[in-house]
């Protein structure tokens, strides 16, 4: 039984400021996860997520509907902040994601399983190429569509889908080998 | 051919991002299931490994800084516009200009306080309120269960347009999904929320307990996230009662041979609004 979903467009006449404010609650979490994949430190990833929105306010004039959705633009800012962060941390050869904590409402056996998965995933993700890691983090953790990911990375939709398949295949192989 | 497969894989990943299970995707592509399944499993495994929830305290503090910065940005823009108006506009006196500016600032701050509250709007329950939230269950694997009790900690409603974030604890915090199958539904909250367009409803699940008919034992029902989300644009208008039926369903994820698993997920297709004039109470789903 289908109920009226009331799905009318509500974007008409909305300013960039309104749009940005509306994205905060949902995209703060996603950007924090995206950053965490790259930098491995949850607290710093959350700082970056907050910083992204402050940078976005400063740069709203330059946004001007440049052909990409605002959420994709936020990840572009996040990407730049992550690069800056990693540059500052460049003396470190590896990225530590061991301090990711699991929600306290999870059961102990689940925590143990997830910790093992994190460790295996950490190793596997580090062996992907930078572009592969970027595609996966934007698609899985940022929950952007492949089209949004493509526009953000300056690539075609098709090449992003191909890169995505190759990245997951490689990830799968690495997880099996481990 | 490869691009076709890539598109199918991409579509499945979008569906998984939206809360669907791997099995439900595979059902649509039985010929490709052998190729798709290991890839989707790897994708899901990596996703789960990073599925942490940012700390609420840090998030709220960051949001406060963001809202303040946004207000400042708006104020600066208004001031610039005001000066521009003076240069190219009418010959207003300083007193008139100050009066107009004060009025603009007053209106601006009044409106902005309404549109961008620094904290969530937390409405109280009201039996005559303009918004009713109901829970229902689409018939999937629920028939395997004697009971499936879902504990709901809180509900969040988001308006992307205005930035409003409504948050409340339901009046009924536990729902047995076996009692709200198909056309049945249960009202868990009614109250007044601000009029306007809303886009998403979040239900925060604190616990789910299912007892199988076959064994009479507790069965593990996995939650893809403790925050279930449905995107659905709806309007809360003056002099109307908006009833939103939120459909949560239990899906079987196994084939019955290597062990059946169950997952709880929101069912967007079966969820939505029913708007009625006056003070009608939500009675359930409508065709």
CB contact, 8 Å: A36 with chain B?
yes
Residue A121 sits in a domain of what CATH number?
Answer: 1.10.10.10
Q: What is the pLDDT along chain A (178 residues), one digit of tens a residue?
A: 333 333 333 344 567 888 898 899 889 999 998 888 888 788 899 999 999 999 999 888 777 656 678 888 899 899 989 888 888 876 544 444 444 444 444 555 666 666 776 777 778 888 888 889 899 989 988 888 898 888 888 889 999 999 999 999 999 999 887 6
Give the pLDDT of residue A90.
67
* Positions of E strands within chain B: 131-136, 145-158, 165-168, 174-176, 186-191, 196-212, 218-219, 221-222, 227-236, 240-252, 262-266, 272-277
Provide the domain limits for residue A56. Answer: 16-177
Phi first, then psi, for residue A146 (nearest 5°) are: -65, -30
Cβ within 8 Å, pair A29-B269: no
Give the pLDDT of residue B274.
81
Q: Which two tokens stand for residue B258?
A: 């290597």
Give the pLDDT of residue B83.
59
Q: Are strands B145-158 and B165-168 parallel, antiparallel or unpaired?
A: antiparallel
For chain B (length 287 residues), average pLDDT per consecutive 10? 84 86 89 92 82 82 89 81 57 55 48 44 82 85 88 88 83 88 86 87 89 85 82 83 89 63 83 70 40
For residue B118, the tally of other CB atoms under 10 A from its CB is 11
Q: Are strands B272-277 and B240-252 parallel, antiparallel or unpaired?
A: antiparallel
Q: Is the residue at A3 inside a domain? A: no
One DSSP character per residue, B139-163 reads SSSGGGEEEEEEEEEEEEEE-TTT-
For residue B120, the tally of other CB atoms under 10 A from its CB is 18
Residues in chain A: 178
Q: Is the residue at A11 inside a domain? A: no
Q: Is the residue at A100 inside a domain? A: yes
Residues of chain B contacting residue A26, judged by C-beta atoms under 8 Å apart: 158, 200
Q: Is the residue at A9 inside a domain? A: no
CB contact, 8 Å: B273 with chain A?
yes
Q: Is the residue at A4 inside a domain? A: no
Give the pLDDT of residue A51.
94
Q: Is the residue at A106 inside a domain? A: yes
Q: Is the residue at A1 inside a domain? A: no
Task: Identify the three-state secondary structure at position B248.
Answer: strand
Phi first, then psi, for residue B8 (nearest 5°) are: -65, -45
Cβ within 8 Å, pair B39-A172: yes
Task: Identify the three-state secondary structure at position B26.
Answer: helix
Closest-CA distance, A97 to chain B, in angstroms, reads: 10
Q: Where do the structural domains in chain B lie, given as residue ranges?
A: 2-49, 56-115, 131-277
Contacts of A130 (CB under 8 A, 6+ apart): none
Q: Which two tokens stand for residue B254?
A: 């196994």
Give the pLDDT of residue A161.
94
- How many structural domains are present in chain A? 1
Q: Which two tokens stand for residue B53?
A: 């929830």
Q: Which two tokens stand for residue B139?
A: 């018939």
Q: Which residue of A21, A28, A60, A163 to mutate against B (max B Cβ within 10 Å)?
A: A21
Residue of B nearest to A31 (CA): B54
């Amino acid at each position: 039984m289908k109920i009226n979903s009331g799905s009318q467009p509500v974007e008409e006449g909305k300013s960039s400021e309104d749009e940005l404010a509306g994205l905060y609650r949902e995209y703060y979490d996603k950007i924090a996860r995206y950053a965490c994949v790259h930098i491995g430190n949850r607290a710093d990833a959350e700082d970056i997520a907050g910083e992204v929105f402050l940078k976005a306010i400063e740069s709203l004039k330059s946004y001007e509907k440049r052909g990409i959705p605002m959420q994709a633009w936020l990840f572009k800012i996040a990407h730049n902040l992550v690069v800056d962060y990693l540059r500052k941390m460049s003396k470190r050869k590896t990225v530590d994601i061991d301090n990711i904590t699991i929600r306290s409402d999870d059961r102990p056996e689940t925590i143990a399983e997830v910790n093992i998965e994190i460790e295996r995933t950490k190793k596997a993700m580090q062996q992907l190429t930078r572009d592969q890691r970027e595609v996966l983090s934007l698609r899985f953790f940022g929950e952007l569509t492949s089209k949004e990911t493509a526009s953000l990375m300056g690539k075609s939709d098709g090449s992003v889908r191909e890169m995505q398949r190759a990245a997951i295949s490689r990830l799968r192989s690495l997880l099996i080998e481990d | 051919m490869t691009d076709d497969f890539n598109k199918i894989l991409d579509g499945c990943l979008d569906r998984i991002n939206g809360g669907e299970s791997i099995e439900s995707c595979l059902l649509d592509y039985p010929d490709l299931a052998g190729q798709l399944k290991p890839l989707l499993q790897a994708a899901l495994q990596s996703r789960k490994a990073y599925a942490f929830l940012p700390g609420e305290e840090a998030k709220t503090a960051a949001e406060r800084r963001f809202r303040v910065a946004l207000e400042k940005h708006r104020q600066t823009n208004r001031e610039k516009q005001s000066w521009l108006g003076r240069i190219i506009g009418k010959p207003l006196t300083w007193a008139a200009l100050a009066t107009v500016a004060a009025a603009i600032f007053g209106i601006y701050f009044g409106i902005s306080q309404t549109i961008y509250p620094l904290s969530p709007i937390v409405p109280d329950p009201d039996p005559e309120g303009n918004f009713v939230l109901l829970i229902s269950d689409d018939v999937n694997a629920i028939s395997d269960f004697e009971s499936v009790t879902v504990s709901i900690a809180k509900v969040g409603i988001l308006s992307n347009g205005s930035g409003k974030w409504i948050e409340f604890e339901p009046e009924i915090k536990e729902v047995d999904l076996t009692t709200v199958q198909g056309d049945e539904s249960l009202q868990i909250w009614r109250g007044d929320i601000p009029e306007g367009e809303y886009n998403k409803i979040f239900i925060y699940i604190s616990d789910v307990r299912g007892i199988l008919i076959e064994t009479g034992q507790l069965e593990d029902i996995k939650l893809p996230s403790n925050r279930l989300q449905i995107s659905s644009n709806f309007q809360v208008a003056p002099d109307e009662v908006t009833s939103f039926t939120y459909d949560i369903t239990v899906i079987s994820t196994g084939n019955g041979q290597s062990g059946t698993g169950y997952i709880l997920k929101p069912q967007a297709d079966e969820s939505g609004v029913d708007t009625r004039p006056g003070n009608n109470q939500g009675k359930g789903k409508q065709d």
